[in-house]
Amino acid sequence: MNDQDTATGGNFIRQIIDEDIAAGKNDGRVVTRFPPEPNGYLHIGHAKSICLNFGIAVDYHGSCNLRFDDTNPHKENIEYIEAIKADVRWLGFDWDGLFFASDYFEQLYEFAVGLINEGKAYVCDLTAEQIREYRGTLTEPGRESPYRNRSVEENLDLFQRMRAGEFKDGERVLRAKIDMASPNINMRDPALYRIRHGVIHHQTGAEWCIYPMYDYTHPISDALEGITHSVCTLEFADHRPLYDWTLDNIPAPCHPQQIEFSRLNLEYTVMSKRKLTELVSEGHVEGWDDPRMPTIAGMRRRGYTPASIRDFCGRIGVSKSENTVEMGVLENCIREDLNANAPRRMAVLHPLKVVVKDYSPNRVEHLEVTNHPQNESMGTRVLPFTNELYIDRADFMEDPPRGFKRLVPGGEVRLRNAYVIRCDEVIRDAHGEIIELHCSHDAATLGANPEGRKVKGVIHWVSARFGVTAEIRLYDRLFSHPAPDAAGKEGNDYKEYLNPDSLRTLTGCIVEPELEHADPGDRLQFEREGYFCIDSRHSSKQALIFNRTVTLRDSWAKIEQAQKSR
Ligand code: ATP
Ligand code: MG
């Protein structure tokens, strides 16, 4: 990938790196990492962090590690690890080193013993609740634990016995001895280790029954990997003093610089892994890769391209100010990509039969049509034209409003890439329902304008004989409220704002025969309908299923405009 492709642009983090390089810091090396917790699938917010960290490594000819922060084994599993690796690769990045925080468990333990030896850590017997009480508040200092002044020998003995499994969960913790009066609550003797029996860790199995805390593990993992710039989200700014304290008080091989940026928030969705897990486990969506999920796996199945996601991450930029990005920004990125790159096809979503009475039932014309109106290099395909066709029900109206340019009784319309037809007769069933249109065609209008009159409307169609039946899933936004999280804060559950129309399934759609050969991964424009892809999970050659990636135009913009002016 070259510099232009990484889509992170200039930003304050790159400025810091430029200055560091100019000052000769870290001998000019740039090493970053992306540190996911394997407790869920990656989402579009993670993509921002991935583009930033891997993008920096690419552009500065440095390196970027993928490191699993696996200190909470009861919430983690191998499925997540594999999914995260696949998603990072799919986004177009590759890691230099692949690590697990658990690779460092032994070293982390040794460093903790070192802290105890120097009187900088102690084993505390207070319960979790007592520790909370003793911690104080933002306005009141904390109180010192009665166990704070244990001797080094006693602490070493107890810590060793914690590791040996002599104590129950929650009975003891190892704490840093820093400052119970610190204005920063994170510095009030934070826990470094806790006891957790009975979990089989996906990497270390049953070897450990004590696990290091994130705030202790993270800086040390960074230092052991020689990370130069440890980029994280803003909520860790208050933890930075503890990050630095940890590295200042162990024999760390280096001292990475923690730099915080604001996380991505996106309208009409939620991004917390707790909530995404809930949506999956409670069955509100089909799984982590449901095409409505803001996960990378969901977006891939929806039809998003890696390039469109990188483009999005570039456009939103990197800063320290909290903001929420409009969903339209993301949708426009994929729309632009697919407008340029998706081959055009015809698909009839709500079929209405048309019989061209003056076209021989035995005749088949193989019309050669272009795959893309602006890009000849995308080639052509063959469309069979026959006397029986399907058009979309919405393209015919008996009592049209003014300005309706499509088919009406007695009126003409152009069939895209084919003839101009006229509707001569409307056929109904016993209930009065329109079941067929009888039409005639102007044989002189193939690739030519009709003589002496203008036909304005152009509609899409598919041959009834050669068309293929398909299911089409019209996906829309998962939530109908732009800020389901914030709405949830008003005492409602964010799930009350799930959009009941986020999925409409159409069966019996008719698509052009070429689409029988579509592969998962192909992305297509169905003319006049939107952008679609094969559903990679459920579609088969025998039963085609297409997912709508995005509509041709932003239909939400109007709705939002109306909501705002209300
Ligand atoms: P949770 O949702 O449970 O708070 P998390 O989002 O912090 O978890 P991690 O797996 O720890 O999940 O995230 C890995 C990295 O991705 C971290 O460096 C984190 O800062 C970054 N990250 C997570 N969410 C976002 C987001 N919305 N925008 C930008 N970066 C993010
Ligand atoms: Mg996290």
Set 150, 177, 273, 523: catalytic member: 273
Residue 175 CB less than 6 A away from ligand 1? no
Q: Kindly provide the b/e burial profile for residues 487-511, where b requires at least 16 CB atoms within 10 angstroms of the residue's own CB.
A: bbeeeeebeebbeeebbeeeeebbb
Reply yes or no on whether the pLDDT at 321 is more than 50. yes
* Amino acid in position 256: P
Least confident of 6-15, 54-63, 126-135: 6-15
Whether the per-residue pLDDT at 547 is higher than 70: the answer is yes
What is the pLDDT averaged over residues 314-318?
Answer: 95
Active-site residue identified among 37, 326, 471, 560: 37
| Two tokens, residue 441 | 């065609």
Give the per-residue pLDDT at 3.
36
CA of 510 relative to ligand 2 center, distance in Å: 46
- State yes or no: pLDDT of 4 exceeds 80: no
3-state helix, strand, coil in the chain (%, to 5): 35, 25, 40
* Other residues' Cβ atoms within 10 Å of the Cβ of residue 402: 4
Ligand 1 pocket test: which of 32, 230, 233, 485 has the largest number of ligand atoms within 8 Å of its C-beta?
Answer: 233
Give the CB-side neighbour count of residue 440, counting CA atoms within 13 A. 7
Cβ–Cβ < 8 Å for 486, 268:
no
Query: Are the C-beta atoms of residues 234 and 260 closer than 8 Å to each other?
Result: yes
3-state helix/strand/coil string of 348-391: ECCEEEEEECCCCCCCCEEEEEECCCCCHHHCEEEEEECCEEEE
Confidence band for 265, pLDDT divided at 50, 70 and 90: very high
**Cα distance from N-terminal residue to C-terminal residue, the chain:** 47
User: pTM of this prediction?
Assistant: 0.94
Q: How far is the CA of 45 from the centre of ligand 1 (A)?
A: 7
Q: Which ligand is nearest to the CA of 274?
A: 1
Predicted local confidence at residue 9, as pLDDT: 59
Asked whether the predicted pLDDT for residue 219 surpasses 90, the reply is yes
Q: Residue 358: is its pLDDT beyond 50?
A: yes
Q: What percent of the chain has pLDDT over 90?
A: 94
Report whether residue 48 contacts ligand 1, using a CB cutoff of 6 Å. yes
Question: How far is Cα 563 from Cα 566, in angstroms, rounded to an integer?
Answer: 5
Least confident of 151-165, 336-350, 473-487, 502-516: 473-487
Judge whether residue 557 has pLDDT over 90: no
pLDDT tens, residue by residue, 420-459: 999 999 999 999 999 999 999 999 999 999 999 999 999 9
Say what the pLDDT of residue 64 is: 98
Q: Is 48 a catalytic residue?
A: no
Q: How confident is residue 337, by pLDDT bands cut at 50, 70 and 90?
A: very high
What confidence tier does 162 reach under pLDDT thresholds 50, 70, 90?
very high
More confident residue, 3 or 381: 381
Position 146 scores a pLDDT of 98
pLDDT digits (tens, 9 = 90+) for 104-148: 999 999 999 999 999 999 999 999 999 999 999 999 999 999 999
If one residue of 238, 263, 266 were mutated to test the ligand 1 pocket, choosing by the most ligand atoms within 8 A of its CB, it would be 263
Say what the pLDDT of residue 485 is: 86
Q: Is the pLDDT of residue 562 over 80?
A: no
- Per-residue pLDDT band for 492 (boundaries 50, 70, 90) equals confident
Whether residue 345 lies in the annotated active site: no
Instruction: Judge residue 40's burial from the number of C-beta atoms within 10 Å of its C-beta, 0-12 exposed, 13-18 middle, 19 or more buried.
Output: buried
For the cut 80, the answer to whether the pLDDT of residue 213 exceeds it is yes
Is 7 a residue whose pLDDT tops 60? no
What tokens does 80 get? 């997540």
Report d(CA 87, CA 84) in Å as an integer. 5
Give distance in angstroms: CA of 69 to centre of ligand 2: 8
pLDDT band at 489 (very low <50, low <70, confident <90, very high): low
Residues 36-55 have pLDDT tens digits of: 999 999 999 999 999 999 99
Cα–Cα distances in Å, from 155 out to 145, 167, 213, 249, 254?
14, 14, 18, 17, 27
- Strand, coil or helix: 347: strand
The 10s digit of each residue's pLDDT in 239-250 is 999 999 999 999
Q: Report, as an integer, the average pLDDT of 200-207.
A: 97
| Mutational pocket test of ligand 1: of 49, 213, 215, 319, the residue with most ligand atoms within 8 Å of the beta carbon | 49
pLDDT of residue 486: 82
Question: What is residue 110's predicted lDDT score, i.e. its pLDDT?
Answer: 98
Amino acid identity for residue 182 in this structure: S
* pLDDT for the residue numbered 490: 66
Mean predicted confidence (pLDDT) in 372-376: 97
Identify the DSSP state of 264.
P
Does the structure show a pLDDT above 80 at 2? no
